[in-house]
Amino acid sequence: MTTFTGKGVYGAVAIGKISVFKKRDAEVKRVRIDDIEREKQRLEHAKAASMEQLSEIYEKALKEVGETNAAIFEIHQMMLDDDDYNESIITMIESQKVNAEYAVAKTADNFAEMFSSMDDAYMKARAADIRDISNRIISNLSGERSEETAVNEKVIICASDLAPSETVSLDKEKVLAFVTAHGSSNSHTAILARNMNIPAVIGTGDDFLAAIKDGDAAIVDGFTGEVFIDPDEETRARLLKKQADDEKQKRLLQELKGKENITLDGTKVHIFANIGSVDHIGEVLLNDAGGIGLFRSEFLYLESSDYPTEEQQFEAYKKVLETMAGKKVIIRTLDIGADKKVDYFNLKREENPALGYRAIRICLTRPEIFKTQLRALYRASFYGNLGIMFPMITSVSELEKILAICAEVRAELKAESVEYSEDTELGIMIETPAAALISDQLAQMVDFFSVGTNDLTQYTLACDRQNPDIEPFIDTHHEAILTLIRMSAENAHKHGAWIGICGELAADTSLTETFLRMGIDELSVAPTFVLKVREAVRNTDLSKS
């Protein structure tokens, strides 16, 4: 197996055979001609044929990639009709008595050169367009039309580079993917590939074409920009799964985007997304999540070499809230410790870190760190719909301390006349059996609960989730866990709080109905699971028992 990497321009996976796209021989011979009029006539015929082809390509592009992207071929027609361009060709034929092919090729060189030397990326890129139309005239002059390669099965088209007209001329039904050794991801070809929904990888490098031949088995991963030639079984299996997952996701997106999260009998539930970095907000929106149910703030600490300042945190939180434009954003305060270590915290090595000095325990013993984060959060609350969530709660007294610190921070901000939102909701993670068992008391103190099923499972079943040997003993559907969740839901509702689930179990669609029957108000899952869960919700009927 050989692997090449370029830039993926459309995320999808293609598996199939390679077809190497052969360019027509671009070399044009200079021939002395005697009949200038005849040569000019040949040119006129070739130009008329080119014009006709371009308008056909334009019509095809219009249907396949839309008006904006098809416009390039209208522009090609304008170029073909350009006075300067045509004058240059005619003058060359007349004054140098050369064949039309040569005059066109030479003129193309001159114009391409002019564009290439311009100090503007857009203008530079026009050099390729000039060559594209000129090659078309030349092939019409010589009576060859090599670009419509006969392709009988769906193939992965590999080329040194593809001109926009070549890209669109290929029969979409027979192209699995494009791979080009050269070219940029901003080229028209890349843009066209993206709009044709065909996986494409651009710029795999100089060695690429030498390493492939027609009929080679290959896999193109448009997500990562990888191209596997003669893939091994493991790679094939992995990419087959990726392809199936992607296709399912895209189908769901088509069908379920914009639809409500509502059961057949009319029960509604929120489906939010879990993310751990500002960079992933795009995925939240793309997958149509109703909000962010768990924003892990650790990334701010993990990516930093020292304690992040209030200002740094404020900017990050503000950005998330503004981007989510009024949708709910629940940010969980610092959850360092256990499996997440940060050097500058100088945490001691522990025998049993999952049961150790972590999360809220650090915050309550080092309140200066906690207060910096809370100040940043409250200041950011002004810019959106914020909920603040505290992890690893086990007792009422912890929560009392936390709420007192929150009140202190609000009082400080008020004294400083700094704006914050009074509607900021406060909630806790239910991830210890203790919290679930005293949820009756805790629910009276907060606006919401969010069940962290990963830790809740580990602590309830006494199973270390880092230890692969005990995996057979981890039953995530264990009745004890479900009972704790049910108990928390009942207590939350009794005291007017809402309850969500943000652990991995929230995405387990075999439990969706169970959770909905418990009255769970929100399910927060990885962005790519949002629509899968929506589908499950929409297929659930709670009126049947």
* Catalytic center residues: 188, 502
Determine, following the binding rule CB under 8 A, whether residue 62 of this chain makes contact with other proteins.
no
Tokens representing residue 345 in the block:
């915290």
Residue 71 binds other proteins (CB under 8 A): yes
Decide: is 121 part of the binding site for other proteins (CB under 8 A).
no
Kindly tell me which residue out of 1, 36, 62, 79 binds other proteins, with binding defined by CB under 8 A: 79
110 binds other proteins (CB under 8 A): no
In whole angstroms, what is the distance from residue 134 CA to residue 131 CA? 5
Using CB under 8 A as the binding rule, whether residue 27 contacts other proteins is answered as: no
Does 122 sit near other proteins (CB under 8 A)?
Answer: yes
Contacts of 109 (CB under 8 A, 6+ apart): none
Q: Could you tell me which of 133, 132, 169 has the C-alpha nearest to residue 149?
A: 169
Q: Least Å distance between CB 140 and other proteins?
A: 20
The residue (of 79 and 217) whose beta carbon lies closer to other proteins is 79
178 binds other proteins (CB under 8 A): no
Q: Between residues 126 and 358, which has the closer beta carbon with respect to other proteins? A: 126
Q: Does 119 bind other proteins (CB under 8 A)?
A: yes
Candidates 107-115, 188-196, 218-226, 419-427; binding stretch for other proteins (CB under 8 A): 107-115
CB of 241 to other proteins, least distance (A): 42
**Identity of residue 291:** G
Sign of CA dihedral 117, 118, 120, 125: negative
Contacts of 247 (CB under 8 A, 6+ apart): none
Q: Is 262 in the site for other proteins (CB under 8 A)?
A: no
- Tell me which stretch binds other proteins (CB under 8 A): 122-130, 206-214, 246-254, 409-417: 122-130
Determine if 118 is a binding residue for other proteins (CB under 8 A).
Answer: yes
Q: Is the CB of 86 or the CB of 142 nearer to other proteins?
A: 86
Classify each residue of 303-341 as buried b or exposed e, where b means 16 or more C-beta atoms within 10 Å of its C-beta. eeeebbebeebbebbbebbebbeebbbbbbbbbbbbeee
Please tell me whether residue 82 binds other proteins under the rule CB under 8 A.
Answer: yes
How many residues are there in the chain? 545
Q: Which is nearer to other proteins, 115 or 448 (CB)?
A: 115
Check if the beta carbon of residue 85 is closer than 8 Å to that of residue 131. Answer: no
| Bridge partner list, 330 | 387
- The rounded distance, in Å, linking the Cα atoms of 89 and 106 is 8
SS3 58: helix
The answer to whether 415 contacts other proteins (rule: CB under 8 A) is no
Contact residues: other proteins, CB under 8 A: 71, 75, 78-79, 82-85, 111, 114-115, 118-120, 122-123, 126, 129
